[in-house]
Amino acid sequence: MSESRRDRRGLHAVAPQGAAAEATRADPERMLRRLEWTVIRRLDGLLQGDYRTLFRSFGLDLADLREYQLHDDVRHIDWNVTARLQTPYVREFHADREVTAWFLLDLSGSLDFGSHAVRKRALSAELFAVLARLLARHGNRIGAVLYSDAVETVIPARGGRRHVLHVLDRMLRTGQARSGKETNLAALLEAAQQVVKRRSVVFLVSDFISTPGWAKGLALLARRHEVVAVRIYDPLEVELPDLGLVVMQDAETGEQLFVDTHDRGFRRRFAEAAVHRERELRAALTEAGIDCLELATGDDLAEALLRFTVLRKRRSQLAAGGGVPRTRAG
């Protein structure tokens, strides 16, 4: 393997040989009950029961068009109609009483990595459980598309706590068998475009460690739906410490490398590759106009979601095309 390819592949989440996802051994009922008592109950107190604060701007349907008036929000101008009629027109919206939320869940091999007590796969499962339960208990419907090294399962949108448990159970059991394929998020996004017909809230939960080519599919999805990207990551994927001589294994392909992390040049190239991937991710999200919540292993989930609330409030104040806000939960 060439050195340049080694550096590029080094961006894939690598895990010690024999590492397994603890989430696959979790009991869905026990996990959800624990999160209801710890995270969800805490959010209820801090949000004073107003779950729509957390999902600000979700579930909006176009109600009407009217001429622009003084003090109207310029972000609501319909530029196509304005150009056709030569008079500024704005879009008016009304909020749906019920929201359909779809979770696009990347459960590929790279999610098995984690340098803290919690691995990325477990953090992803907990995030889904909290968001889905918050939505479902207010009468909203939850659907999911589960991806490992291919789209494995499409779970139709339904409501209720039992449905959340069903999705969580399928999520914890997905991706245990590995075929050695690298992640291709474009396939997940393409499947979502075929499945999610009605305008919905779409959460793309992934570590975004994927072969290139998914950005276009994300932009297309965002044109029709309210899309939020949730990036699950581990600090060791961003900056590699000096650990000496170690054997690393690509969690997706199973390929092993013997590397000298004491080599400053290697650590520098690893960090540069991580920065490059970060820039590509930011560019794709900015192009699509999508918010990004970043969760690191070891982060406090309740605090992360509260930061997300602030993020959603800030977004409503940003000018159109002003960039994509993001938040790190740490």
Tokens read off for 132: 């889905």
pLDDT in tens, 48-60: 555 665 665 555 5
pLDDT in tens, 233-263: 998 887 777 777 776 666 666 676 777 777 7
Do the beta carbons of residue 107 and residue 171 sit within 8 Å? yes
Q: How confident is the model at residue 176 (pLDDT cuts 50, 70, 90)?
A: low
Of the candidate ranges 56-65, 95-104, 259-268, 278-287, the one whose mean pLDDT is the lowest: 56-65
Three-state SS for 11? Answer: coil
The secondary structure of residue 183, as a DSSP letter, is P
Helices (H) and strands (E) in the chain, counts: 11, 12
Q: How confident is the model at residue 130 (pLDDT cuts 50, 70, 90)?
A: very high
The secondary structure of residue 319, as a DSSP letter, is P
pTM over cut 0.85? no
User: What are the E-state strand segments in the chain?
Assistant: 14-15, 60-67, 89-95, 100-106, 141-147, 151-158, 201-206, 226-233, 245-250, 256-260, 291-296, 326-328
End-to-end CA distance of the chain: 36
Bridge partners (DSSP) listed for residue 65 = 91
